[in-house]
Structure formats: C-alpha cells, structure tokens
Amino acid sequence: MKGSWHVYILRCQDGTLYTGATVDLEKRVERHASGKGARYTRSRLPVELVYREPAEGRSAALRREAAIKRLTRAAKLALIGADGRRKRRRIRAVPPSS
C-alpha cells in the first residue's frame, strides 16, 4: 500500500519482534526479507509480517511506532492477537451427499 503510512511488526526467525513505520509497506517488508532492511532483522531471517495498522501521516506513524516499542512483549503479543500466533482457519471436510 504505497502512499499511506503504516506501522508494522515483524516476527523474526528467533521469535523476537521488530516494529517499524513506513510509507510503502510491501517494499519495506521485501527489503527486510532480502536482508537489506534494518540491521536488527538481517541476522534474524526469515521475517514474517504479523501486524500492521494504518496511520494518519508520518508524525502519527512515528508516534505509534514509539508507543508500540515501549510495550512489553506480552502486550505486543496481545496486540498481534492469539498470543502472537497466526490464526489459522480450519476447514472441515464435508462428505459428498449421495
């Protein structure tokens, strides 16, 4: 989503969380994933985008990023949802009707 500011959280391979803000979320996540992003994430590849939220502008995005960074790990996991695990949709197989 180019053009609008977003705050995001990545889960690194070692389970740690990285928070950032950007105007081009797809490109930024790709840079992290390719090892060209932040120094913190380079040594913790692969990374997975686990949270994002839109922001009203640069100032709001940077304030929100700072606020998230001040949260405890438990609070960040609650923000992400499901104790930080991705919610997976289970699909039940329905037998064909005769």
Distances in Å between the alpha carbon of 61 and those of 6, 65, 82?
A: 6, 6, 24
Mean pLDDT of 67-95: 71
- In the prediction, which pLDDT does 82 show? 55
Predicted TM-score of the model (pTM): 0.79
* pLDDT of residue 92 exceeding 60: no
For the chain, domain boundaries: 2-84
> 3: pLDDT confidence band, cut at 50, 70 and 90?
confident
Architecture in CATH of 2-84: 3-Layer(aba) Sandwich (3.40)
What letter represents residue 52's amino acid? R
Unique residue bearing structure tokens 């699909």 = 91
What letter represents residue 91's amino acid? I
- In the prediction, which pLDDT does 88 show? 40
- The CA-based diameter of the chain, rounded to the nearest angstrom, is 61
